[in-house]
Structure 1
Amino acid sequence: MAASTPAHESEPSRTQNQNADTTPHTGGVEAHGIDVIPDGERHGRPRELFGVWAAPNVSYLSLVVGGTLILMGLGLWQAMAVVVVGNLFWALVGLVAVSGSASGTPSEVIMRAMFGVRGNRANILVTGWFASVCYLALNWAAGCLAAFSLADEAGLHPNTLVKVVIIVLVAAATLAISVYGHAMIIRLYLPFTILLTVVFVVLAGYVLQRTDWHYHPQQSLHGSVLFAAIAAGLALVASAPLSYNNSADFTRYLPRTTKPAAIAGWTFVGAYVPSVLFTGLGVLAGTALDMTDPESALESIIPGWFKPAFLLAVVLSAVANNAMTAYSSGLALQAVGLRIRRSRSVALDGTLGVALTLYALLVSNFLDTVNSVLQLMVALMGPTMAIYAVDVIRRRNRYDGHELSDESRGGPYWFSGGVNWAGASALVVGAVAAALCVDTQLFSGPIAQAMDGTDLSLPVGMILAAVLYVALTRRPRSSRLVAAQGAEACAADAEAADAESAGNRVATAQAAPRA
């Protein structure tokens, strides 16, 4: 018999459950994993989500993405338009975030409603766990390169041993936040946002002094080539929000009475505003600097006294980004079926991420390959996000955490053989269609090749998956209502059987004298 989900974190001891009530307020290690958060332990306000989503977007990587848009051949205002439009996908992150407070469970469990208990394990293994480990390596690599430069500035030549120590220290700081969990993220991320904003606003002053407001690329793009560049730029910018189909992880502690509009709004604003501002700053930097090496380019325009602060901000932004990623990766590993505590699953994922980072920075630079793999995964993440958003709308955000946590055969979300074939089919078809339209250095689909490298994987995959999911899914009903209707039907059948039996007895009694 399949164990119920709450056993993942609560089973080791009753004391742990008793202490869970104090965890959100004392800052102790979070006791809960993918189990349901009881109403008595719900707390917080939606506005706390602003800092949670702002901190990872006030980042060095946002600057890099903005500079990349210029390197792709776009003009200043074309790139700015791509930044504004591409970041609108954060609205989907806000939409799916509302399911956390409704169910008291993380996204990794809620998606059982779309894909079934077993089907969701396969989906989370790829889009949740594997993607998270890859992002850990990429973000740590970027942060540690800045830390190497900082060590060099301090007169500590970063040889192999020093580099290993730096990587381990950066990872340890990140994982400490992730292991302590939700309460620590809520507590630290607004101060992180403020500190990072101060540093990057100062940086913006130096960038604005050199910005070419009349910038045009040496060879202006036109026609299908311009369309292809814009499509690729939109996919690049949108890849960040589409990677966060786990936004309910950070709302499941909110009271179930919290207004969904407030949750969606604070999530969207917290992510959208800083992402637009600082990706836009990267675009402005690209008009005056060679952003093929963004760290060196930005260091060339700032004074010596500010350089350590800039490098520290790059490291801190990597820590902020990866602490959320590692936190969700731990939940993903539990949702896949690994029966260990959340803190241990976070540590396991962090160890894998550190190993990849060490290999990438000290042995073989395979980060370009990892980056290309993640670009390809947008073909899977886009349809997943689309299906999730459609499900929230169709169900009117009515999710029961205890039903979602039931992994038993015949449970509310077991469907057929543990798979919801409507969601699984929509995901596979959407992902295949997106793959046919994708254009990356690692792989270019036949449709993209036929369209001169135009990457339409994002709209094609998401729209097709959403439409197909709607077409294949009946109007959702509460499983409790279905159970009640089933009980009523059974009772009616029993009454009919009793009536028929009584009628037969009467008929037999009447027929006996004539015999």
Structure 2
Amino acid sequence: MSSPEIAPQRDSVIEQHSIDYVPSSERHGKVWHQGPFWFTGNFVLPTMVAGFVGPAMGLSVGFSVLAIVLGVGFGTFFMAFHANQGPRMGLPQMIQSRAQFGSRGASVPFAATVFVYVGFLVFDTVLAAQGIGLVLPDNKLFWYPLLIAVSIVIAVVGHDLLHFVQRWLTYALIVVFAILTVVAIVHYSSNPLVEGAPAADAGWNTTAFLVQISLAAGYNISYSVYVSDYTRYLPAKVPAGKLITAVYAGATFSAVWLMSLGSILASYIPNPDPILALREVGDLLFPGFGLIAVMVSVLALISIMGVNAYGAMLTGTSAVDGFKKVRPTVGLRVIGLTVVGIATLIVALLIPDDYIGSFNNFVLLMLYFLVPWTAVNLVDFYFVRRGGYAIAEILKPNGIYGYWAWQGVVAYIVGFVAMIPFFSTSFYVGPVADALGGADFSFAVGLIVAGGLYVLLARTIDHDAEAAARTASEAELEGTHR
């Protein structure tokens, strides 16, 4: 049985909403659309790069894939449960954090989230330009601004175009990469190892196994900051179980598939480059198929760049609104996206050529900053307030949730500090991680400490006052949109 669908009232192809509430009269879409959206959203080359790590550290393909399955399965669990917040609250993902942190207290997770979005935009831009450079002149000063501009145009049109593009790219990606994966497995399992290939010395490595789990988990946990942005237009009463399952299935399947393919390539190709590795394997089928695979991957990168630009704009606008009330107009969205684009271009031009090493550190940093936030946000939604919020008050910087909600801020800070001894990066290894040979358990510590502490601190919340505000909020929101 399909989920309920309400015909939206839209006068323009360009999305009109931003960080504001989406009223019931404009809710639309189907639950199953979330599956292909998150499949394509995760089926991009940075995902494959995350699978290079295990083999590079001496882990065999089998153990690398096992670590990926465990990490992705764990990380996506948290990401998928954010999906239910969108239709219940009708708000983008990060502005919901005001209920736990306050309109200004949310600045720290907001800043970390913008860092995530811009970081992914940078890596996507670099990879997409590298792919295009296989067939056209490789000129960063031309391709970087053009690719970023295209992503901004997609994000200006907004939510529905992003869903449409992601959904239809799913079919092309499945066909092309199913063929590519079969070719890789058949070829590498039946041919001698290339000299210098990591598979020659690969086996069990405890540190590598744990690092691969952490990277895989952190990679999908990072998508938590996106989820409600793309579920908030669904009708409020869509089945929670079906919605969470659709998001979980799409994001898990694509991440496990592409990271595992990355592990295969990294095991048999010395010092693999994601673009060149794709072309090399694809051309084993017939000359030119590798280029087809790369070009399809470039399209997926451009699409997810639009998703990242859109999310960065929403989060940045939410941050500004906490200090100075803004009107979420289309014009403001264009300005916000332009700022995001300029920042992305500057970083992309400055990033070192060894971006794969930078990418691994980036994923870990995402994990460190986002884990305490996702713990607090999910615990509040499912266990403390149980989905009951005064939405109109969230949209007011000085509303009932205040500028600073000390419970969430304290839980976040303590959770982050508790993770520090477990950090393991190329530039810092905490004492516990060092004692464990570089293994990184910080995500588990952050989830438990931040989430557990918030449950205790949340006992001081005045739920009676919030219930009265919630009743007034419902009348105010739907009344103003009739």
Match of 2:449, as an amino acid?
Answer: L
Note the 1:53-452 alignment, pairs <5 A: 53-88=38-73, 89-125=75-111, 127-151=112-136, 157-158=137-138, 162-212=139-189, 217-219=199-201, 226-246=205-225, 247-301=227-281, 302=283, 303-337=286-320, 339=326, 341-360=332-351, 368-369=357-358, 371-394=360-383, 395-408=385-398, 411-414=399-402, 418-452=403-437
Deviation at 1:461, TM superposition (A): 1.5
* Alpha-carbon contact 1:43-1:255 (below 8 Å) kept: yes
Deviation at 1:484, TM superposition (A): 9.7
* Alpha-carbon contact 2:40-2:167 (below 8 Å) kept: yes
Deviation readout 1:436-458 (Å, 9 max, x if unpaired): 21111122112212322121111
Deviation at 1:189, TM superposition (A): 1.0
* Alpha-carbon contact 1:376-1:435 (below 8 Å) kept: no
Deviation at 1:254, TM superposition (A): 0.9
Deviates more, 1:199-208 or 1:101-110: 199-208
Deviation readout 1:428-481 (Å, 9 max, x if unpaired): 111112122111112211221232212111111121111111121128636442
Distance 2:370 2:337 in 1: 22
Deviation at 1:321, TM superposition (A): 2.1
Runs of 4+ in 1 over 6 A off after TM superposition: 213-216, 364-367
* Alpha-carbon contact 1:212-1:288 (below 8 Å) kept: no
Distance 1:191 1:258 in 2: 23
Match of 2:18, as an amino acid?
Answer: G
**3-state DSSP of counterpart to 2:43:** coil
Distance 2:118 2:311 in 1: 10
**3-state DSSP of counterpart to 2:135:** helix
The 1:33/1:219 distance shift into structure 2, 3 A limit, reads same
Number of equivalent positions: 444
Distance 1:447 1:325 in 2: 34
**3-state DSSP of counterpart to 1:244:** helix
Deviation at 1:332, TM superposition (A): 0.5
* Alpha-carbon contact 2:279-2:291 (below 8 Å) kept: no
Distance 1:229 1:101 in 2: 39
Deviation readout 1:138-167 (Å, 9 max, x if unpaired): 12111111111221xxxxx43xxx432222
Deviation at 1:335, TM superposition (A): 0.6
Percentage identity across paired residues of the two chains: 25
Distance 2:342 2:464 in 1: 41
* Alpha-carbon contact 2:113-2:370 (below 8 Å) kept: no
Superposed CA RMSD: 2.5
Distance 1:291 1:201 in 2: 24
**3-state DSSP of counterpart to 1:118:** coil
Deviation readout 1:286-306 (Å, 9 max, x if unpaired): 333235323323322323221
Deviates more, 1:303-312 or 1:459-468: 303-312
Match of 1:55, as an amino acid?
Answer: T
* Alpha-carbon contact 1:73-1:229 (below 8 Å) kept: yes
Distance 1:107 1:119 in 2: 16
Match of 2:348, as an amino acid?
Answer: T
Match of 1:306, as an amino acid?
Answer: F
The 1:483/1:145 distance shift into structure 2, 3 A limit, reads closer
**3-state DSSP of counterpart to 1:111:** helix
Match of 1:266, as an amino acid?
Answer: A
Match of 1:256, as an amino acid?
Answer: A
Distance 1:111 1:413 in 2: 10
Distance 1:175 1:72 in 2: 37
* Alpha-carbon contact 2:127-2:275 (below 8 Å) kept: no
The 1:484/1:75 distance shift into structure 2, 3 A limit, reads closer
* Alpha-carbon contact 1:210-1:288 (below 8 Å) kept: no
1:48 aligns with 2:25: no
Distance 2:133 2:437 in 1: 41
The answer for unaligned runs of 5 or more in structure 1 is 1-19, 152-156, 486-515
* Alpha-carbon contact 2:22-2:232 (below 8 Å) kept: yes
The 1:122/1:478 distance shift into structure 2, 3 A limit, reads farther
* Alpha-carbon contact 1:290-1:297 (below 8 Å) kept: no
Match of 1:30, as an amino acid?
Answer: E
Deviation at 1:63, TM superposition (A): 2.4
Deviation at 1:427, TM superposition (A): 0.9
* Alpha-carbon contact 1:439-1:445 (below 8 Å) kept: yes
Q: Highest CA radius of gyration, 1 or 2?
A: 1
Match of 2:249, as an amino acid?
Answer: V
Partner of 1:507: none
Match of 1:77, as an amino acid?
Answer: G
Match of 2:33, as an amino acid?
Answer: E
Deviates more, 1:203-212 or 1:324-333: 203-212
The answer for unaligned runs of 5 or more in structure 2 is 1-7, 472-482
Distance 1:404 1:451 in 2: 43
The 1:63/1:291 distance shift into structure 2, 3 A limit, reads farther
Deviation at 1:87, TM superposition (A): 1.0
**3-state DSSP of counterpart to 1:32:** coil
The 1:118/1:213 distance shift into structure 2, 3 A limit, reads farther
The alignment's TM-score, normalised by the length of structure 1, stands at: 0.80
**3-state DSSP of counterpart to 1:413:** coil
Distance 2:254 2:222 in 1: 17
